[in-house]
Structure 1
């Protein structure tokens, strides 16, 4: 009998519960909150600048990036903990920690306290995310997993997409703390139902060590890269300091890879990357995650600072794109189960590149929402719905059950690194006090390039069922 940790302890007469969907929604509610939390502050960024006037834009970017750096670094050991110690246990601990930290964020009276609370929130988010996907994978029979994973990814993509819209409304009507308090009702439901509904067998008896060295190297590398970009035009930083930060990032990344090759229990098992599909999907996730974060941050900056929309109006104006994510992802997931993920990843990347090209060339300095903005928004919603869930599905398509949590955690961590770079690049291009339409040109140009790189990388992805079974 395999020693793999299982999520559900079903009755002896059944291999699976009568319906896996209640399990899916318990797991997905928490991931919805985590994904929404990663983008909801895009809408609150201007309000935070007014609430903490002593902080610079680069300082405040760490309210977003401190969360994302720690989230990215903690996802991988959290996946291992879920596989070893029980996915239900780790999932519930993560949800509880995320909710407590959300309250701490809301009551913060200084930027330093807010950043510290965001770090704790990131640890909770990292614990629950890979456990959630493992729960979903174990709950469904093999023939339904492509649809379930695509829908799981779609829930996260939708949450990340509507985060700015919802955040705009909450921040405008109730103040920036409600960008965090909004997590509490749904999070409490997931915690309550998860404690009652989820069942699991005991995990493997052998306890693996957490790779603190690898985690530290990764945090320093990613943090130094984000610091280099966000502070690139800061008068407080000299060129030699910026070069030193960039060099630190590169050196720590090289040290991380070298350590992973020799450590007994490395943070990232490099053997995972022997699968060409897995390697290509993670590189594509890095490129697309960067473009995705840039897009939403730039949306709000353009609408509020170039078109001078109010925050609620900007949030409402962004909504049509995210509404296309779920139906697109459902259709894509059903077809990917038969055809594989490659056609949807490639076509979706091209559509997403088209949205960046539209926003680069068409909108002007004067508002013209229906003809100049909405078509680009529709293209972005369809592109996100095709690509983001498919990346999550393709990443785990060829993994054995024992590596579900760790393998998916690596992919989610790579996406978060992309988000860090996307936020840092957006702050660099349009985070200064005086912004013009021309400042958005390089940003949307990079959006197009990253989308095309995503499509090129996905040309080698092969997740067709017959291809995976034959390999």
Structure 2
């Protein structure tokens, strides 16, 4: 009797559910966040035209206020996902993001738009680390290098679609639709997430939100960015700018000191005892500045030097980000066996070569196929090698309970770097008349930061133990 019933029981045992539907639900939300940021790079000119009384430095805060708050909120959001349930925090973040997107599109003033962007940043911060931790938890250890790279490739695809789609949307129906387009995508992710995702077990100890640490980080990054973007403004004296910069430096020092003494700090400094984690975040900071400068500077070049329309500029940038996707997938497969270091060092050196190409080859006369497209191939390949690998390398050796917080620290580092990159670009190119020679300093910094990324990546070791 017993032996006869065993096969029947075994036959009714369901096969393990595939993790890929979970991956796609979580990745759609990550796609949404990345799409929004890249669309606004292409929509910057339209936003300035929509608010003609605002300067380029003023409008940069539509980008930077979002990014500063996003960076400061990412880390506690990772802790909230671990403590209160990843599904709950993920769905809350998606809901807040799409509600704030609607408010952005309806904003009637620069101040109202910036305020809505801050709210949007909170939603994005809640959903991003929860999204990655949901993906990490759904897959076994031996597939995580690939899945994290794919998760990064989804963001790369958004970067490819964002400029072209954003340029087309802004030129045909106006800048508010750069925000309204988030609504159907967010609604799809919210609906599927509520039905498909399973709630994670909450952590035994719930972390408090480090309000002091968040405030110090926001002041530090915001003040440094303000000092950079306003450094050439006649509305600010040198003394005032020096005070603002000093305030940023003091707040940054206070943030580090606070993190070393607080019971539950915003950033757990013990995470940086992992050498690969420390090196990956330092490389992320250097590369993130260069990436934002290159991406944002592209639209200044197309509009002011080659005089491309918004739609044409959006299409012109698409090949570079599209290359990111297959390169990231291939890199993810190989990194599981070889580790991330060879792809990071090689990719960063290739990125420096891309910066050298853009500095030396394109001129004032448009010649897209011969002068610009090869540079896009170089930069797209290098970004596919580096950016997803940095995200994966940062968390690959962390304990499972630190996935969300560790990934949030890495994402926050990238966002802080983007603030600095946007601020430098506005400083160098945000004045009234932009010429070809103005881009030499931008690409010189690009090359230097890429070489620094390569040097820092040499300290990253994520090879499987048996192959070291």
Q: SS at the partner of 2:458? A: helix
TM-superposed CA distance for 1:13, in Å, is 6.3
Q: Where does 1:9-408 land on structure 2 (aligned, <5 Å)? A: 17-408=16-407
CA distance in 1: counterparts of 2:435 and 2:283, whole angstroms = 31
Alignment check: 8 A CA contact 1:17 1:139 kept: no
CA distance in 1: counterparts of 2:405 and 2:204, whole angstroms = 18
Query: For structure 1, which segment, 158-167 or 408-417, has the greater mean C-alpha deviation from structure 2 after superposition?
Result: 158-167
The residue aligned with 1:6 is none
CA distance in 2: counterparts of 1:143 and 1:83, whole angstroms = 22
Please say which structure displays the higher CA radius of gyration.
2
Alignment check: 8 A CA contact 1:333 1:390 kept: yes
TM-superposed CA distance for 1:286, in Å, is 0.5
TM-superposed CA distance for 1:243, in Å, is 0.7
CA distance in 2: counterparts of 1:433 and 1:44, whole angstroms = 18
TM-superposed CA distance for 1:162, in Å, is 3.4
CA distance in 2: counterparts of 1:407 and 1:436, whole angstroms = 42
Q: Normalized against structure 2, the TM-score is what?
A: 0.96
Residues 409-449 of structure 1, C-alpha deviations (whole Å, 9 max, x = no match): 00000000010011000000000111111111100111111
The residue aligned with 2:438 is 439
TM-superposed CA distance for 1:38, in Å, is 1.8
Alignment check: 8 A CA contact 1:37 1:160 kept: no
Alignment check: 8 A CA contact 2:163 2:315 kept: no
Residues 57-85 of structure 1, C-alpha deviations (whole Å, 9 max, x = no match): 10000000000000000000000000000
TM-superposed CA distance for 1:46, in Å, is 0.9
CA distance in 2: counterparts of 1:91 and 1:97, whole angstroms = 10
Classify 1:286/1:17 alpha carbon distance in 2 versus 1 (closer, same or farther; 3 Å): farther
Q: SS at the partner of 1:245? A: helix
CA distance in 2: counterparts of 1:231 and 1:436, whole angstroms = 20
Alignment check: 8 A CA contact 2:320 2:379 kept: yes
Cα RMSD (Å): 1.4
Residues 394-420 of structure 1, C-alpha deviations (whole Å, 9 max, x = no match): 011001110000000000000000100
Alignment check: 8 A CA contact 2:156 2:322 kept: no
TM-superposed CA distance for 1:169, in Å, is 1.2
TM-superposed CA distance for 1:201, in Å, is 4.0
TM-superposed CA distance for 1:165, in Å, is 2.2
CA distance in 2: counterparts of 1:311 and 1:274, whole angstroms = 46
Alignment check: 8 A CA contact 1:287 1:450 kept: yes
CA distance in 1: counterparts of 2:84 and 2:338, whole angstroms = 35
TM-superposed CA distance for 1:185, in Å, is 1.4
TM-superposed CA distance for 1:215, in Å, is 0.3
Residues 65-121 of structure 1, C-alpha deviations (whole Å, 9 max, x = no match): 000000000000000000000000000000000000000000111000000000000
TM-superposed CA distance for 1:466, in Å, is 1.1
Q: Normalized against structure 1, the TM-score is what?
A: 0.95
Alignment check: 8 A CA contact 1:342 1:463 kept: yes
Stretches of structure 1 that go unaligned for 5 or more consecutive residues are 1-11
Alignment check: 8 A CA contact 2:161 2:318 kept: yes
Alignment check: 8 A CA contact 1:395 1:407 kept: yes
TM-superposed CA distance for 1:159, in Å, is 1.7
Alignment check: 8 A CA contact 1:38 1:68 kept: no
The answer to whether the aligner puts 1:430 opposite 2:434 as a matched pair is no
TM-superposed CA distance for 1:204, in Å, is 2.7
CA distance in 2: counterparts of 1:232 and 1:204, whole angstroms = 46
Query: For structure 1, which segment, 26-35 or 37-46, has the greater mean C-alpha deviation from structure 2 after superposition?
Result: 37-46
The residue aligned with 1:8 is none
CA distance in 1: counterparts of 2:285 and 2:200, whole angstroms = 34
TM-superposed CA distance for 1:161, in Å, is 4.2
CA distance in 1: counterparts of 2:329 and 2:428, whole angstroms = 35
CA distance in 1: counterparts of 2:206 and 2:402, whole angstroms = 15
Alignment check: 8 A CA contact 2:87 2:200 kept: no
